[in-house]
Structure 1
Amino acid sequence: MGTYATSRSPDQGVRIAYDKEILRNGWLLVDTWVPALILCSAYVSTVKVFLPRYMKDRPPLDIMSFIRAFNLFQVLANFWFAIQVGRRTYFGGSFSWLCQGVMGRDDPVTLDLLRLLYVYIWVRVVDLLDTVFFGLRHKWTHVSTLNVSHHCIVLLFGVYGVRHGADSHMTLVVLVNQCVHVIMFTYYFFASFGDRFRKYLTWKRYLTGIQLAQFFVLGVHSVLPLVFPCPGLPAMHSIVAISSMTFFFIMFARFYVQTYGGVKQELSKIPVSFGCKLLVENKSL
């Protein structure tokens, strides 16, 4: 079983992962919630209000070179971070697959992992450009509520984790998501070349299947600490993860059915208050 600080009570609840001295030393976005909330508000306002107004009477921009560079960056960054996180946790570290309590805040291994996860938050900040690129190309149907909300939720999820202990059972959410991003953005990179690689990219529908499998597996994994004793892990960690995975599973299941067909009668009964209209090109976490 993984390690955790035995001096903490298992029901202590959510706590700040770093001492204030460490947080004040350049840890933007995690010292308080204010910067992250401001960033998300600015992002939503930009892609839903200001960018549509700015581009209303302007032609779509030819920014395919920037998009390819963006996709390639996402592939390389997520691949590197997945290796680094994996070797510090489940593949080379002491993390338990079934129950991993929050590690000690003063432990050097813990701080190394949390610093790594903190830097990864900035990869997710760069990921916000995904929606901006859609707007600059007049792909307004891609600037869906789901596309916008998932970027904000994932960013806030990362901030929550670093503030309150991502060095725990929830680390698997980050690791699996990084691996899925490698697959996704590899596809998007080659798809950006058009007909040149089209014959090799006939598996697009399976991207959504991979995403659904991700949400389901991580949702089940997040339930385990609520069913079985898991010392050192606040219940709020599981609640936050389960809520996020459930939201995305429902929305992408509906998207899959609407796009590729399936058991429409069943999933169409799921209430949707977000007004999203998704296309195949929409990207996930």
Structure 2
Amino acid sequence: MASLLKDLIRQYDEAKPYADPRTHNWLLVENSPWPVWILTALYVIFVMVGPRFMKNRPPLDLKWFLVVYNLGLVGLSLYMFVEMFLSVWDADYDLLCASYNKESWTKPAELRVASVLWWYFFSKAIEFMDTMLMIVRKKNEQITFLHVFHHASMLNIWWWTLMFIPGGMSWFGAWMNCLVHVVMYTYYGLSAIPSLKGKLWWKRYITRFQLVQFCVTFTHTVNSIRIGCDFPRWGQNLLAGYMVVMLILFGNFYINAYIKRRSDKLKNGAAKTKGIANGSPVANGSTHTVHTKAE
């Protein structure tokens, strides 16, 4: 771990001359990865220690706080979705190739793009609350590797983005993700209302929407590489690679949560019918489906 940190610090020091001078002093960017690394470390520690702390304690009843929290994130995501569209329109971006270079640093319209991308980056720190709320409500079955990895990695990836490439092609994946989050946090906000619990039928379609988002963003990024878009190649490679990882992890989640679950229910139903016919009922198992929040 120490060698990995040393390597990351070395790479940062080598890249520092290429950092965007407009954003390096912004909150949580701070011209250093350490604030984000410390925040991530505290998050991981809470994930490990929190369930043990809550083990012999009753879960907190936070249903109305959950409504406010989730619908608040709906509002923030909707604002970012609209503001990203307006800012890139103002910056005269091409949909298929939005360039980013040192000339971007001097354009006022580009500062507007960077500002809304900072809000997107900062929202990833806010979303650490997703996990904390699961822990204090003792919903530990929802805290999967996918959930923790996705939350921790997004904050760190977007620190590098804000430090070095807060504009150009960086906007598209974030814009898509904001739209997904409007839908996703709307679902979570409504599902926290007692009278609506269990009546919302569209949970699985959120995961499908997320998978579509990853596919579209991956295709968009690969196409920008193909046409030689004026944007740092490392940023394009990072985004394309991350989309592949997300497709694998979320695809595996969808298969296990919905496809295999449905198959198991059908098998168990057939076994139960057979058992009753033979005079010996077969107990039908239950599978708890957990939807994971994303990016």
TM-score, normalised on structure 2?
0.80
Is 1:117 paired with 2:122? no
Contact 1:191 1:197 in 2 (8 A): yes
Once the 2 structures are TM-superposed, how far is the Cα of residue 125 of structure 1 from its aligned partner?
Answer: 0.9
* Distance of 2:185 and 2:119 partners within structure 1: 20
Q: Which of these two proteins has the greater Rg computed from alpha carbons? A: 2
2:19 corresponds to which residue?
16
- Which residue number in structure 2 is paired with residue 205 of structure 1? 204
Deviation of 1:281 after TM superposition, in Å, equals: 2.5
Would the aligned equivalents of 1:18 and 1:105 in 2 still touch at CA under 8 Å? yes
2:238 is aligned with 1:235: no
Which amino acid in structure 2 is aligned with residue 107 of structure 1? K
Give % identity. 26
**Residues of 1 paired with 2:69 and 2:193: CA distance?**
14
Distance 1:79 1:236, change over 3 A: same
1:282: which partner in 2? 292
Higher helix content, 1 or 2: 2
Whether 2:55 is the aligned partner of 1:56: answer yes
Query: Matches of 1:36 and 1:207 in 2, distance apart?
Result: 29
The one of the two structures with greater contact order (alpha-carbon pairs below 8 A, sep at least 6) is 1
- Calculate the TM-score normalised by the size of structure 1: 0.83
Aligned to 2:18, what secondary structure does the other structure show? coil
Q: Deviations over 1:231-268 (max 9, x none)?
A: 2x111111110121111111111111111117x9xxxx
How far apart, in 1, do the equivalents of 2:173 and 2:18 lie?
A: 19
Which secondary structure does the structure 2 equivalent of 1:23 belong to?
coil
The CA deviation at 1:73 is: 0.7
The alignment of Structure 1 onto Structure 2 pairs a total of residues equal to 255
Contact in 1 for aligned 2:64/2:192 (Cα 8 Å): no
1:172 paired residue number: 172
How do residues 239-278 of structure 1 correspond to structure 2 at under 5 angstroms?
Answer: 239-261=237-259
Q: Distance in 2 between matches of 1:144 and 1:42?
A: 17
Q: Which residue of 1 aligns with 2:149?
A: 149
The alpha carbon displacement at 1:41 in A equals 1.0
Cα drift, residue 34 of structure 1: 1.1
- Structure 1 residue aligned with 2:214: 215
Conservation of the 8 A alpha-carbon contact between 1:13 and 1:234? no
Matched residues in 2 for 1:170 and 1:144: separation?
Answer: 28
Moved more, 217-226 or 190-199: 190-199
C-alpha change, 1:30 and 1:161, in structure 2 (3 Å) is farther
Structure 1: 4+ residue segments shifted above 4 A: none
